[in-house]
Amino acid sequence: MHYDTSLNNHGLKFNPFKAIAVPRPIGWIASLGADGARNLAPYSFFNAVSDRPPVVLFSSAGRKDSLANIEATGEFTCSLATWDLREKMNLTSAPVGHGVDEFELAGLTPAPSRMVRVPRVAESPAAFECRYWKSVELPTAPRGETHTVVFGLVVGVYIDDAYIRDGLVDTGAMRPLARLGYMDYAVVTPEVMFTLNRPRVGPDGRTAQVDAGPWDGVYR
């Protein structure tokens, strides 16, 4: 099949776009209102876009509390959503009223950050502490929905020491969640992870080969 996204003439039960752009990391974004009220919400359009400097982004559909808080205070955190926290993460997505503390709603513990005033999720094995950089308004959708992309400079990173092994972060042991389409999610585990070495370019600059065996620990 092939369809025009301006018409959404795919003939399926639901728009398949989010079922194809997968897997997507979940941005579990915490922020503070100007009055100090806490807010916590998961965003399925989230990712890292640079590591030097480290920058993350997420997209807000409409002017939700997270967007308003971050633009007003200039700070936020992003905690890693994991398999063990899946139900609590899902609960924080509830469209509750303004001023409701989702940390309390989901039974989560706010842990103090070091570089920003916004807390992270204490139960999460890792978190980014971010300073707001800028917002970008996306083109308005045909039905009038507005989307805003928020960029944040990561100024601090928390990692539970239990997940640092042999000088590397044991990502699989954390079992991070990923968002798929519809109501579907996936989880990263050690069993599904694999390594691919980077190709080496030949002397002529026109050929390449990949070394067999495990990664030698050198970035190329």
Domain boundaries, the chain: 22-195
Residue-level pLDDT at 219: 83
**Nearest in space to 83 (alpha carbons), one of 7, 195, 209, 191:** 191
- pLDDT of 216 > 90? The answer is no
Helix, strand, coil percentages, rounded to 5, for the chain: 15, 35, 50
- pTM score, whole prediction: 0.93
Q: Which fold has domain 22-195?
A: Pnp Oxidase; Chain A (2.30.110)
Q: Alpha carbon of 195 to those of 21, 32, 167, 191, 210: distances in Å?
A: 22, 39, 17, 12, 12
SS3 of 49, please? Answer: strand
Stretch 193-205: mean pLDDT: 92
pLDDT digits (tens, 9 = 90+) for 162-189: 999 999 999 999 999 999 999 999 999 9
pLDDT digits (tens, 9 = 90+) for 51-69: 999 999 999 998 899 999 9
